[in-house]
Amino acid sequence: MGSLRECGVHCSCGLECVNRTTQRGIGVRVKIVRDLKKGWGLHADQVLNRGEFICEYAGEFVTTEEARRRLQTYDELASTNKLSPALLVVREHLPSGKACLRVNIDATKIGNVARFINHSCDGGNLTVVLVRNSGSFLPRLCFFAAVDISEGEELTFSYGDTRLRPNGLPCFCGKEACMGVLPSEET
């Protein structure tokens, strides 16, 4: 996972500043597409160039305790196909190596198109970048094109390490490297 620092509220520059790329919002065309196996997915609705900003993962910032409570509820509901959970846990390891910052973003009820980006066991075609704005403590999770992406191609990234729960949700990425189960962890 990469990192990027952008101008913040204390900078005198405007949104046109080259150091505010992710703050201008989604500048590319994407579309939400239904797949019979995977459910909903996000696809490019135009050619996307390597390095191009796609979107930010937006949602509710919740405490770790709340994330654990919600995850338990979501796991129970996911098996009934009554809910498509989108709770993302991000760990940013601090330079000292002695600690990490944990950020829980839940886009299940409040979010944007990024909640439809599916997992790919081969790493996918998107790069995840933690963006920090000057003066802001919490990082923002943003997606950039890792490779040139064709119009109509599904946008994917790796949900995480291959530490698998035996009762995890099945993976339908279809890649040769598919693990058969979505990466997840006891949060």
Residue 167 has pLDDT above 70, yes or no: no
172: Cα separation from own chain's centroid: 18
Percent of the chain clearing pLDDT 90 (strictly above): 47
Residues 131-145: what's their mean pLDDT?
Answer: 83
User: If you average pLDDT over every residue of the chain, what do you get?
Assistant: 85
- Per-residue pLDDT at 152: 98
- Residue 2's alpha-carbon distances to 101, 104, 147, 155, in angstroms, are 15, 18, 15, 18
Higher-pLDDT residue of 136 and 125 is 125
Helices marked H in the chain = 64-78
Residue spans of the domains in the chain: they are 1-56+112-180, 59-109
pLDDT at 137: 74
What does the buried/exposed string (b/e) look like for 54-72 if buried means 16 or more CB atoms within 10 Å of the residue's CB?
A: bbbbebbebeeeebbebbe
Which token pair is 67? 């994330």
Residue 162 has pLDDT above 70, yes or no: no
Kindly state which CATH superfamily the domain 1-56+112-180 is placed in: SET domain (2.170.270.10)
d(CA 40, CA 34): 4
What percent of the chain lies above the pLDDT cut of 70?
91
* Amino acid residing at 101: L
For 159-185, letters b (16+ CB in 10 Å) and e give: beeeeeeeebeebebeeeeeeebbbbe
Q: Is the pLDDT of residue 135 over 80?
A: no
- pLDDT band at residue 105 under the 50/70/90 scheme: very high
* Mean pLDDT within 152-160: 94
- Per-residue model confidence as pLDDT tens digits over 43-92: 999 999 999 999 999 999 999 999 999 988 887 777 676 667 788 888 87
Highest mean pLDDT among 10-14, 38-42, 161-165: 38-42
State the pLDDT at residue 186. 60
Whole-number pLDDT of residue 1 = 62
Pairing of strands 39-44, 60-62: unpaired
Given this model, what pLDDT does residue 183 score?
81
Q: Are 154 and 144 in contact (CB under 8 A)?
A: no
